[in-house]
Amino acid sequence: MYYRCIVDVANSNVDKLFDYSSDQDIEIGTRVLLPFGNRTIQGFVLDKKDSTDVDKTKIKSIIRTCDPYPIILPDLMKLMHFMVEYYHLRYIDVIKLIVPNVIRSDKVKSQISVECTLNDDNIVQEYLKHVRKNATNVFRTISYLQQNGKENIVNLNKMFSSSTIKKLIGDQIIITTSSIKNRLVHQPAQENKIQLNDTQKQIVDTICNSASKTYLLHGVTGSGKTEVYMNIIKQKLADGKGAIMLVPEISLTPQVVKNFTAKFGQNIAVLHSGLSLGEKYDEWKRIFNGEARVVIGARSAIFAPVHNLGCIIIDEEHDSSYFSESNPRYHTHKVAEYRAKTCDCPLILGSATPSVESYHNAMTGQYALLEMPVRINNLPMPTIEIVDMCKAFRNGNTSIFSQEFLGELQNTIEHNEQCIVFINRRGFASFLMCRQCGYIPKCTECDVSLVYHKRDNELKCHYCGKRFHNINVCPVCGSHEIKLGGVGTERVVQELKEHFPNVPIYRMDNDTTRTKNAHGKILEEFGSHHPSILVGTQMIAKGHDFPDVTLVGILDADLSLFFNDFRATEKTYQLVTQVSGRAGRSKKSGKVILQTFFPKNYVYRFVANYDYKGFFQKEDNLRMVTNFPPYSNMIRILITSEDDDKAKLVSHNFFMKLKELRQNRPKDFYFLEGMKSPITKIQNKHRYQIVLRVVDNFEIIDKIYNIEKEVRDSKVSVFIELNAQNLS
């Protein structure tokens, strides 16, 4: 038999199928050891056949299989071929998603736990008769085990002589049993028994009893979507199937995991970037072995090796983390849709603020729309008060807080309740500026201004992480008048402390959540203090359920509105609605103070009225007349290199060929432009980009990928991003 194999080497030149022979019958998807050049390397069997075109004398044989079973499941095999074709990815890059490094490298092993017990009492007594009276180690060890029944071998070795224990095991007086010990412990939790309401029941029934398709579950914040997800999964488990639920990385809080453990016990596995290698290894193996059938994870968990998949859920489906923006680039919805189809299982996209594209798909019948328009127990949505900061400024208020916000906050504190304050910038000031000459300190590696961090008294680049000394004197003109511009989380905390010195205030942003579990600890602290205030970036917008939060302050809603991005309005709508949704989630009603310099902007009107449909119609219409997605596919081609001239040349060549393509197919193109990226340099790499909007069909996209092959240069990286999210 001949086997077509991919070698585990990340090099485009060898990313093709090589023919090998073997007398063994090897299944597709199996990991194998292969002779390659004069090396032995790992590879994967992707295909098998009876004959080969390669010269038989040159064909080498597979050395051996690495595992006694295929490590790539059949449905993931199909998914791999799809991604390689659709996104023009290398096989090996997709295999790395499906079989993560920690599994391929064989460096991490399962942790084995060995329990020691004594053999039958008769045998032990008989044995003791023949032991010398001064062999105290033997007597003490046996006596310990007689009293305690069993003990882990590691502990036993610490307490007694290990050579004695070894001998007792050899003489079969101590009996050992080994088992795999999971490094990640899912603490058992008490299930909160909840009776589904009629809407929830209906939705669960619809999804579980209809033919598989993609559903868009549009449910307002606090409508009980999580309970719906868990009940669908429960039914799938009862049918002998497994499930994958994806959430944005930062919503993978202990709270969510606890809810799932309470319902599904040790049947869950968690996959996210915060796990240690050992933990990741164990979780993956538990899924692969079928011990854990419910996977909760961030984006890449869509590749989890769940057998007999019964449903895929993408929670907060509008979240931008579902786009992979580094190699291999892919869109989770697309990948999930393909996998769900292969497994003939439903895909459920859930959100309080669906992306315009997904809602459009629901309107045009590609997705089935399911709605949960009211909160659990008919709780009212929090009222949103829009505060005009221009007016406040004209009336002499130059502070970052409006009178309305401070008044409400005072009230909240007096009632021993909690408040969440949102500002979408970390650090203290987002830039410094010399008042005399206008100098702004910038990163030396990137074309961006530096952010002032007060606690560290440093300037930091938020793109590459490089740190610089703070400046008190302008290096250009020598002036001492350095102004702090743009308020960040650190400054908000400081100013709140001045107003409310006795209230605990917590900060949650990228700076305070670097360490493992920091995120969960901050939320726990905040949740257990009354009154208390939590200040944070968009991290605080996601899925948290604190019953005593009655006030949400949105300090600068406009920040995301003026991003140079056609999705800016949509993102603002989503962010403000999600943050507002943290208020009033139990019996106490909630209030939101939304500060803006543009109170008349239509997005805020729709937000304040909770009018998603109205917002969608306006936005969708705008996209239609301007040919933006979902009415086209927006593609960004990002060209970067340390060598500016080479990057320029590649972008020029690429652009000219695209122009030629447009001439031949004018109807397929809506827009084509080449330019420097808005950020012209990151980490010393010069950046150019070509942005185009084309009809959304595979053929034209394929042609664009093929141009890349013609203009390639080894010193230049070219990334083609379909459905581009980020244009900076």
Preceding omega of 630 cis (within 30 degrees of 0): yes
Q: Which stretch binds Zn ion (CB under 5 A): 56-64, 84-92, 405-413, 461-469?
A: 461-469
Select from ligand ADP, Zn ion, none the partner in contact with residue 219, using the beta carbon and a kind-dependent cut-off of 5 to 8 Å: ligand ADP
Answer for which of 461, 487, 552, 701 binds Zn ion (CB under 5 A) is 461
Select from Zn ion, ligand ADP, none the partner in contact with residue 161, using the beta carbon and a kind-dependent cut-off of 5 to 8 Å: none
Answer for which of 476, 656, 675, 679 binds Zn ion (CB under 5 A) is 476
Select from Zn ion, ligand ADP, none the partner in contact with residue 708, using the beta carbon and a kind-dependent cut-off of 5 to 8 Å: none
Q: Which is nearer to Zn ion, 623 or 681 (CB)?
A: 681
CA-based Rg of the chain, rounded to a whole angstrom? Answer: 30
Site membership for Zn ion, residue 479 (CB under 5 A): yes
Select from ligand ADP, Zn ion, none the partner in contact with residue 476, using the beta carbon and a kind-dependent cut-off of 5 to 8 Å: Zn ion
In angstroms, the CA 725 to CA 40 distance is 41
Amino acid symbol at 696:
D
Q: Which is nearer to ligand ADP, 226 or 569 (CB)?
A: 226
- Could you tell me the smallest distance in angstroms from the CB atom of residue 638 to Zn ion? 17
Site membership for Zn ion, residue 638 (CB under 5 A): no
Q: Which is nearer to ligand ADP, 70 or 590 (CB)?
A: 590
In angstroms, the CA 29 to CA 41 distance is 16
- Could you tell me the smallest distance in angstroms from the CB atom of residue 435 to ligand ADP? 46
Site membership for Zn ion, residue 477 (CB under 5 A): yes
Q: Which is nearer to ligand ADP, 147 or 195 (CB)?
A: 195
Select from Zn ion, ligand ADP, none the partner in contact with residue 463, using the beta carbon and a kind-dependent cut-off of 5 to 8 Å: Zn ion
Q: Does residue 544 contact residue 579 with C-beta atoms inside 8 Å?
A: no
Q: Which is nearer to ligand ADP, 164 or 538 (CB)?
A: 538
Q: Which is nearer to Zn ion, 463 or 566 (CB)?
A: 463
Site membership for Zn ion, residue 443 (CB under 5 A): yes
Site membership for Zn ion, residue 464 (CB under 5 A): yes
Select from ligand ADP, Zn ion, none the partner in contact with residue 196, using the beta carbon and a kind-dependent cut-off of 5 to 8 Å: ligand ADP
Select from ligand ADP, Zn ion, none the partner in contact with residue 434, using the beta carbon and a kind-dependent cut-off of 5 to 8 Å: Zn ion
Burial class (CB in 10 A: 0-12, 13-18, 19+), 339: buried
Amino acid symbol at 321:
S
- Could you tell me the smallest distance in angstroms from the CB atom of residue 226 to ligand ADP? 3
Select from Zn ion, ligand ADP, none the partner in contact with residue 221, using the beta carbon and a kind-dependent cut-off of 5 to 8 Å: ligand ADP
- Could you tell me the smallest distance in angstroms from the CB atom of residue 440 to Zn ion? 10
Select from ligand ADP, Zn ion, none the partner in contact with residue 223, using the beta carbon and a kind-dependent cut-off of 5 to 8 Å: ligand ADP
Q: How many CB atoms lie within 10 A of CB 210?
A: 11
Q: By 3-state DSSP, what share of the chain in percent is helix, strand and coil, each rounded to 5?
A: 35, 25, 40
Amino acid symbol at 401:
F
With helix as H, strand as E and coil as C, how does 551-583 read?
EEEECCHHHHCCCCCCCHHHHHHHHHHHHHCCC
Site membership for Zn ion, residue 468 (CB under 5 A): no
- Side-chain-side CA neighbours of 680 within 13 Å: the count stands at 8
- Could you tell me the smallest distance in angstroms from the CB atom of residue 719 to Zn ion? 19
Site membership for Zn ion, residue 432 (CB under 5 A): no
Q: How many CB atoms lie within 10 A of CB 326?
A: 6
Q: Which two tokens stand for residue 342?
A: 């292969």
- Strands in 182-226 per DSSP E: 214-219
Running DSSP on this structure, what letter comes out for residue 533? E
- Residues in the site for ligand ADP, rule: CB under 6 A? 194-197, 200, 219, 221-227, 376, 545
Phi, psi of 524 (to 5 degrees): -65, -45
Select from Zn ion, ligand ADP, none the partner in contact with residue 200, using the beta carbon and a kind-dependent cut-off of 5 to 8 Å: ligand ADP
CA angle 715, 18, 27 (to 5 degrees): 125
Residues 6+ apart with CB under 8 A from 548: 417, 418, 530, 586, 588
- Could you tell me the smallest distance in angstroms from the CB atom of residue 295 to Zn ion? 36
- Could you tell me the smallest distance in angstroms from the CB atom of residue 188 to ligand ADP? 19
Q: Which helix or strand (DSSP H or E) is residue 687 part of?
A: strand 685-694
Q: Which stretch binds Zn ion (CB under 5 A): 24-32, 145-153, 222-230, 426-434?
A: 426-434
Q: Alpha helices, DSSP H only, in 10-110?
A: 74-86, 91-98, 101-104
Q: Which is nearer to ligand ADP, 223 or 424 (CB)?
A: 223
- If we measure between CA atoms, which residue out of 116, 243, 204, 95 comes closest to residue 167? 116
Answer for which of 437, 518, 622, 624 binds Zn ion (CB under 5 A) is 437
- Could you tell me the smallest distance in angstroms from the CB atom of residue 540 to ligand ADP? 14
Q: Which is nearer to ligand ADP, 222 or 382 (CB)?
A: 222
Select from Zn ion, ligand ADP, none the partner in contact with residue 545, using the beta carbon and a kind-dependent cut-off of 5 to 8 Å: ligand ADP
Q: Which is nearer to Zn ion, 297 or 427 (CB)?
A: 427
Listing DSSP states for 365-428 in one string gives TSSEEEEE-S-GGGPPPPEEEEEEHHHHHHTT--SSS-HHHHHHHHHHHHTT-EEEEE-S--SS
Q: Which is nearer to Zn ion, 624 or 679 (CB)?
A: 679
Q: Does residue 66 contact residue 31 with C-beta atoms inside 8 Å?
A: yes
Answer for which of 144, 439, 500, 598 binds Zn ion (CB under 5 A) is 439
Select from ligand ADP, Zn ion, none the partner in contact with residue 577, using the beta carbon and a kind-dependent cut-off of 5 to 8 Å: none
Bridge-based pairing of strands 482-487 and 505-508 is unpaired
Q: Which two tokens stand for residue 678?
A: 């808005």
Q: Does residue 557 contact residue 596 with C-beta atoms inside 8 Å?
A: yes
Residues 6+ apart with CB under 8 A from 282: 110, 111, 180, 182, 183, 184
* Residue 578 C-alpha from the chain's centroid: 17
- Could you tell me the smallest distance in angstroms from the CB atom of residue 461 to Zn ion? 3
Site membership for Zn ion, residue 434 (CB under 5 A): yes
**Residues in contact with Zn ion, shown as a per-residue x/- string from 494 to 523 under the rule CB under 5 A:** ------------------------------
Q: Tell me if residue 323 falls in helix, strand or coil.
A: strand
Q: Does residue 536 contact residue 420 with C-beta atoms inside 8 Å?
A: yes
Site membership for Zn ion, residue 123 (CB under 5 A): no
Select from Zn ion, ligand ADP, none the partner in contact with residue 464, using the beta carbon and a kind-dependent cut-off of 5 to 8 Å: Zn ion
* Residue 329 C-alpha from the chain's centroid: 14
- Could you tell me the smallest distance in angstroms from the CB atom of residue 192 to ligand ADP? 6
Phi-psi region of 222 (alpha: psi -120 to 50; beta: other; left: phi over 0): left
Select from Zn ion, ligand ADP, none the partner in contact with residue 376, using the beta carbon and a kind-dependent cut-off of 5 to 8 Å: ligand ADP
Q: Which stretch binds Zn ion (CB under 5 A): 88-96, 126-134, 438-446, 484-492?
A: 438-446
**Residue ranges binding Zn ion (CB under 5 A):** 434, 436-437, 439, 443, 445-446, 461, 463-464, 466, 474, 476-477, 479
